[in-house]
Amino acid sequence: MEKKLVIPGDFLSDDVKLADEGTYVEDGKVFSSVFGIASLKNQIKVVPLSGKYIPRQGDLVIGIITEVSFSNWIVDIRSPYEGLLHISEFPRRIDNSEMSKYLKVGDSIMTLVKDVDPSMKVELTLNDQRLRQIKDGRVIEVTPSKVPRLIGRSGSMIAMLKNETNCNIFIGQNGRVWLTGKDKNLDLAARTIQKIEKESHIPGLTDRIVKFLKEEKGIPIQEPAKKKAQIEAVEKGEPTQETARDEPVIEETPREEAEEPDKVEENESGGILDELLDK
Amino acid sequence: MVKPEKLIENGIRLDGRKPDEIRPIKIKVGVLNRADGSCYFEFGGNKVIAAVYGPREVHPRHMQKSNSAVVRYRYNMASFSVEDRKRPGPDRRSIEVSKVSREALEPVIFQEYFPRSAIDIFVEVLQADAGTRTAGINAASIALADAGIPMKSLVSACAVGKVDDTLVLDLNKDEDNYGQADMPIAMTPDGNITLLQMDGHLTREEFKEGLEMAKNGCLMIAQMQRAALLEKYSSLMEGEVNE
């Protein structure tokens, strides 16, 4: 197989021209620079199994406002470097004194990395059709290096996930994932995403996820009757977004107060140390 | 413990090892959920735990470098890690060990990839039995890889020493206390030495021979470090495929 698990310093190839991300060249040979999965097809590339998000120009990310300064919003983009969103990058002309009226500390935004300079000053923008503030749904976090697997080849995984869970899903390059939909569906989507993150290095991922989703939906009997539930919801006049699944809807729901983005933490049991120390 | 009459009898050491044998090693990768990378490392009687955070923002700000990451290494012995309670907090010895250990790891880390950031390494010694700095370096290097930090290679460390006029690999506490020399070494698998310290006395010939012994020890440890890292993921890999 052309994929294998490598550690830093592992020899990969003699062909220097093929060296790509996650590798380094020394004495005309290509070595792995990270602990991850090496793929030797076309380009020699190692995808790390963990690591921080390093911003690059053109990345769509999800950020959280941490500070409002004189003419910038300072945004946490889950990286060692903070993002700067200048007042002029807001879609509308606003006054310095009114900045926190539009975006205040703690607000989440879908934003674009406009520029990164060599000293890693990160400039963000909201001046794009696709960009907006996040007001509903939930934001969960995954390891940034797993984002490509979550999206799948030309978006196959994410399309399948959207279909099967009836949620709208937006994946930021920084590993923050924004989910909108109904609570129960959100739970399922969040669980599935965590499974993808945990098993992304094992071959046959898509098939397993399809199976997982089927099982998850099969066990609770109410689930196959989801369509019915939706109809009921419509009859009750609850706001549903079924019709506009393809694009996130920005209308403000009355439940806005309760919609602080929940961060689902990966809480694997910390028992391994206890187990070790027992012996 | 009083000094034993003989530390080596018929070519066998007090704990039953041959002169060129290292102590048993046990490694667990990813033991801390909150750290970006972590490792628990047992090296004979030594028990250490390493945690790596970063790259992350530098605090205090003035420490940051505009063109590369700063690496910070904190070696600390728990007060219960030795028989007589160790007074907690940094002391002359732990500051020195932190410095040399940091310098043992810095050459392999691609620091220039992360300007204005910090890579923090914390090593806690839970139980000490001679050779904690080598155990700490071994653990830290695995934790760095686990954190996804780009490196040229892993670093392995091991000590040689002289006991009863014989060169021995990987000293234990009694050999360290009553021996004639102790020389910890850290190196990459391709033979670049990143740490070399010595106390006691060795002749030139002994030094050369000792260095070769330590290199072999480091290579053995490198194999185990590698196996431990791969094991973290491959066990899951195989389990799923067989299903």
Instruction: Evaluate if residue A248 carries a pLDDT over 70.
Output: no
Instruction: Evaluate if residue B42 carries a pLDDT over 90.
Output: yes
Which CATH class for the A60-134 domain? mainly beta
* pLDDT per residue as tens digits for the range A201-213: 888 888 888 888 8
Instruction: Report the C-alpha gap between A116 and A109 in whole angstroms.
Output: 18
Total Cβ atoms within 10 A of residue B211: 17
Contact A276 B189 (CB under 8 A): no
Averaged pLDDT for residues A59-80? 95
Considering only residues B57 and A228, tell me which one the structure prediction assigns the higher pLDDT.
Answer: B57
Instruction: Report the C-alpha gap between A61 and A48 in whole angstroms.
Output: 19
Q: For B190, which residue in chain A has the nearest alpha carbon?
A: A9
Q: Which of A34, A202, A203 sits opposite B150 (nearest CB)?
A: A34
Pick the range with the lowest mean pLDDT from A232-236, B30-34, B94-98. A232-236
Dihedral, CA atoms, B167, B169, B175, B181, nearest 10 degrees?
Answer: 50
Averaged pLDDT for residues B4-18? 90
User: Of how many residues is chain A composed?
Assistant: 279
Q: What is the ipTM of this complex?
A: 0.90
The percent of chain A in helix, strand and coil, each rounded to the nearest 5, is: 35, 25, 40
CATH fold group of domain A138-258: Ribosomal Protein S8; Chain: A, domain 1 (3.30.1370)
| pLDDT for the residue B3 | 79
Place A42 in a pLDDT band, splitting at 50, 70 and 90.
Answer: confident
Which chain B residues are closer than 8 Å to A24 by Cβ?
Answer: 110, 150, 152
Residue-range domain boundaries for chain A = 3-48, 60-134, 138-258
Which chain A residues are closer than 8 Å to B149 by Cβ?
Answer: 34, 51
Which positions in chain A have a beta carbon within 8 angstroms of at least one beta carbon in chain B?
A: 5, 7-9, 22, 24, 26, 31, 33-36, 48-52, 54, 80-82, 118-120, 145, 199, 201-204, 208, 266-268, 270, 272-273, 276
Share of chain B above pLDDT 70, in %: 96
Range list of H helices, A20-124? 99-102
| pLDDT for the residue B1 | 67
Instruction: Evaluate if residue A273 carries a pLDDT over 60.
Output: no
Instruction: Evaluate if residue A52 carries a pLDDT over 80.
Output: yes
Q: Give the Å distances, CA to CA, from A253 to A244, A263, B48.
A: 15, 20, 52
* pLDDT per residue as tens digits for the range A103-152: 999 999 999 999 999 989 999 999 998 899 999 999 999 999 999 889 98
| pLDDT for the residue B237 | 56
Instruction: Report the C-alpha gap between A205 and A182 in whole angstroms.
Output: 26
Q: For A81, which residue in chain B has the nearest alpha carbon?
A: B57
Instruction: Give the DSSP per-residue string, B224-235.
Output: HHHHHHHHHHHH
Considering only residues B237 and A168, tell me which one the structure prediction assigns the higher pLDDT.
Answer: A168
Which chain A residues are closer than 8 Å to B188 by Cβ?
Answer: 9
Q: Residues B159, B134: contact at Cβ < 8 Å?
A: yes
Q: Is the peptide bond before B55 cis (omega within 30 degrees of 0)?
A: yes
Most confident range (mean pLDDT) of A2-6, A171-175, B3-7 is A171-175
Averaged pLDDT for residues A14-27? 92
Between the two ends of chain A, the Cα-to-Cα distance in Å is: 39
B126-156 b/e with 16+ CB inside 10 Å = b? Answer: bbbbbbbbbbbbbbbbbbbbbbbbbbbbbbb
Instruction: Report the C-alpha gap between B177 and A212 in whole angstroms.
Output: 58
Instruction: Give the DSSP per-residue string, B23-57.
Output: PPEEEEE---SSSSEEEEEEETTEEEEEEEEEEE-
* pLDDT per residue as tens digits for the range B207-242: 999 999 999 999 999 999 999 999 988 765 544 443
Q: Give the Å distances, CA to CA, from B12 to A94, A114, B7, B23, B218.
A: 81, 67, 9, 13, 21
Instruction: Report the C-alpha gap between A116 and B112 in whole angstroms.
Output: 16
Q: Residues B66, B112: contact at Cβ < 8 Å?
A: no
Instruction: Evaluate if residue A4 carries a pLDDT over 70.
Output: yes
| pLDDT for the residue B87 | 96
Considering only residues A261 and A65, tell me which one the structure prediction assigns the higher pLDDT.
Answer: A65
| pLDDT for the residue A198 | 86
Q: Is A118 exposed, middle or buried (0-12, 13-18, 19+ CB in 10 A)?
A: exposed
Q: Walk me through the domains of chain B, giving residue ranges and CATH numbers.
A: 17-237 (3.30.230.70)
* pLDDT per residue as tens digits for the range B119-166: 999 999 999 999 999 999 999 999 999 999 999 999 999 999 999 999
| pLDDT for the residue A207 | 86
B49 contact partners, CB below 8 Å, separation of at least 6: A273, B31, B32, B38, B39, B40, B41, B123, B124, B126, B139
Instruction: Evaluate if residue A88 carries a pLDDT over 70.
Output: yes
Chain B closest-CA separation from residue A33 CA (Å): 5
Same fold, A3-48 and A60-134: yes
Q: Which of B54, B237, B240 sits opposite A80 (nearest CB)?
A: B54
Chain mean pLDDT for chain A: 80
Instruction: Evaluate if residue B101 carries a pLDDT over 80.
Output: yes
Instruction: Evaluate if residue A251 carries a pLDDT over 70.
Output: no
| pLDDT for the residue A239 | 40
Q: Taking Cα atoms as reference points, which of B77, B87, B90, B74 lies closest to residue B125?
A: B77
| pLDDT for the residue B70 | 97
Per CATH, the architecture of A3-48 is what?
A: Beta Barrel (2.40)
Instruction: Evaluate if residue A216 carries a pLDDT over 60.
Output: yes
